[in-house]
Amino acid sequence: MDLFNEARKRELEYTTRRHFLKKCSTGLGGIALASLLGPQNLFAGNSHPPTPDLSSLNLPHHVPKAKRVIYLHMAGAPSQLELFDYKPELQKLDGLDCPQSLLEGKRFAFIQGTPKMLGPQVNFGRYGRAGTYISDLLPNFRKVVDDVAIIKSMHTDEFNHAPAQLLVQTGSARTGRPSMGAWVTYGLGSENENLPGYMVLVSGGKNPSAGKNAWGSGFLPSEYQGVQCRNSGDPILYVSNPNGMSRTIRKQSLKAINDINEKQYKEFNDDETMSRIAQYEMAFKMQVSVPDIMDVSKEPEYIKEMYGAKEGEASFANNCLLARRLVEQGVRFVQLYDWGWDMHGTNKASSLDVGLHRKSRQIDKPMTALIQDLKQRGLLDDTLVVWGGEFGRTPMRENRGGFEMPFHGRDHHTEAYTIWMAGAGIKGGITHGETDEIGFYGIKDRVHVHDLQATILNQLGINHEKFTYNFQGRDFRLTDVHGRIIKDILA
């Protein structure tokens, strides 16, 4: 009798509403492998694709301003003192020994001894209705300054790249937490059944220091992790069928694999098995949907020129254009990483004089075009665009072992850096926060990375304090136990 009751219990667990709606190939769950070209089921008759059972989350918590997010992360941390935070007083101190008061009790990634102060290495001008200071390195960005809110008082807890990238993208400096895009996709789902809700594009030749943990799903089901796309070859690794395998055979093999996975789920009741099924299904759908969307040749020449995009390149320009194409097709969260912003001055490529100029030229036109293009298509009203790095740079010139670098460079800095946000209910043409006269400390309206995360979720209609996931007996959230909404930048 006990064996019968146990078997009946397992059967009921298997057919709960949540699992019933997520099932694949059996019963109503046969809708799970829906056709790419319409509501036809891949293995059965006609039906509509399944809707994730997110009702228990009660999202959104309030009326959202944003339907989607494009996050532009400049991996390596741009120097705010050469781009947005103009400090003429710092110029007067150029070449002088750094005051000991700025060094006592502070930890830096590389600075030792007494470094020299380093004034701004570029000129600034004032633009837009409010006369916002913008660097000469960003001549195109000046055109959209009235569409963005520039936050100059950002600060973080980590001064090394990987932990700082993880902190801003996952809410924790240690691996194992879900990324922001995974949280958003878990909570809100996707607007396109044939594309992942969370997609990642990388430029600059390398992944960020935090690696793929920066877009991982952590303890959330793995179907919510970011899907990395490429600009050449297969848009997504292994999305093409192997030689000799037709799409029909691929469908049959997928059905066989899913049958096995279902049996495994019945035996072990592991939700990750359901995620595996969902990932196989999405991969099958993406074989048709992704190559078309990732083909920038379909764009008019004037649009490609607007971004500076060139077919086949793994460039920031191409990725900005692709980001617009992806959100246009209903992708919920698009993450762009651009590597190469770590300007220490150890060589020309990592110097403020050469490297920063080169990287600024690479992003200035595309990020400006992204805002203009979203705006002209009516997408900026409900698309949140975020730009920034993982920390800032020091107002002192970098030295190592007491010796200056051969070129102008700045060390990592946690106390002050700049980001900007645009679209989806963000006030345009404003500057929020203020740093001291040399850009070392935030002295007004300081903003922590958890505040940024709370604000992004808020614009998506999510109360960051109520959006939790229970893992190992504890309710976790993106902002941990911190975070406040930056209300002054909201329209």
For 245-300, the pLDDT digits (tens) are: 565 766 666 667 767 777 766 666 666 666 565 665 555 455 545 667 888 888 99
pLDDT digits (tens, 9 = 90+) for 443-488: 999 999 999 999 999 999 999 999 999 999 999 999 999 999 999 9
Residue 6: per-residue pLDDT: 55
Closest CA to 357 of 138, 88, 140: 138
Residue 435 clears pLDDT 50, i.e. is over it: yes
User: Is 450 in a helix, a strand, or coil?
Assistant: helix
Give the separation between CA 34 and CA 193, rounded to whole angstroms.
Answer: 9
Q: Token digits for 153?
A: 């008082």
Q: Which of 453, 447, 445, 446 is nearest to 480 (CA)?
A: 453
What is the predicted pLDDT for the residue at 247? 58
Nearest CA to 395 out of 33, 189, 151, 99 is that of 99
Contact 151, 418 (CB under 8 A): yes
Q: Parallel, antiparallel, or unpaired: how do β-strands 132-135 and 399-400 relate?
A: unpaired
Rounded-to-integer distance, Cα 322 and Cα 247, Å: 26
Question: 64-231+294-489 belongs to which homologous superfamily?
Answer: Alkaline Phosphatase, subunit A (3.40.720.10)
Q: Which value, to the nearest 10 degrees, does the dihedral of the CA atoms of residues 452, 455, 457, 460 take?
A: -140
Q: What's the mean pLDDT in 217-229?
A: 92
Q: Residue 417 — very low, low, confident or very high, per pLDDT cuts 50/70/90?
A: very high
81 within 8 A of 409, measured Cβ to Cβ: no
Coil vs helix vs strand at 206: coil
Q: pLDDT tens for residues 172-208?
A: 999 999 999 999 999 999 888 888 999 999 999 999 9
- Binning pLDDT at 50, 70 and 90, where does residue 241 land? low
Distances (CA, A) of 144 to 13, 84, 141, 391, 413: 54, 14, 6, 24, 28
Question: What span, in angstroms and rounded, lies between the C-alpha atoms of 380 and 383?
Answer: 5
Instruction: Spell out the alpha helix ranges (H) of 308-354.
Output: 316-328
Ordered by start, the domain boundaries in the chain are 64-231+294-489
Question: Which of 49-54's residues contact partners 24+ apart within 8 Å by CB, and which partners?
Answer: 49/193, 50/21, 50/22, 51/21, 51/189, 52/21, 52/22, 52/189, 53/17, 53/18, 53/21, 53/22, 54/187, 54/188, 54/189
- Output the six-digit token pair for 28: 């109503």
Omega prior to 60 cis, within 30 of 0: yes
Distance of alpha carbon 247 from alpha carbon 15, whole angstroms: 31
Tell me the per-residue pLDDT of 83-136, one tens digit each, with 9 for 90 and over: 999 999 999 999 999 999 999 989 899 999 999 999 999 999 999 999 999 999
Provide the pLDDT for residue 285.
55
Burial class (CB in 10 A: 0-12, 13-18, 19+), 338: buried
Coil, strand, or helix at residue 108? Answer: coil
Please say whether the beta carbons of 102 and 450 come within 8 A: no
- In this structure, are strands 469-471 and 132-135 parallel, antiparallel, or unpaired? unpaired
The residue-averaged pLDDT of 222-235 equals 77
Name 365's Cβ contacts closer than 8 Å, sequence gap at least 6: 140, 307, 308, 317
In 131-219, beta strands by DSSP E: 132-135, 148-155, 198-203
CB count within 10 Å of CB 51 equals 12
* Beta partners for residue 388, in sequence order: 73
Q: Model-level pTM greater than 0.85? A: no
Which amino acid makes up residue 436? Answer: D
313 band by pLDDT with thresholds 50, 70 and 90: confident
- Residue type, position 46, single letter: N
Express each pLDDT in 30-83 by its tens digit.
333 333 333 333 433 333 333 344 556 789 999 999 999 999 999 999 999 999
Range name among 156-170, 202-216, 280-294, 366-380 with the lowest pLDDT average: 280-294
Check residue 222 and report its DSSP letter: G
Per-chain mean pLDDT for the chain: 86
Return the C-alpha torsion angle 275, 227, 332, 185, nearest 10: 30
Of 174, 171, 196, 186, residue with least CA distance to 217: 186
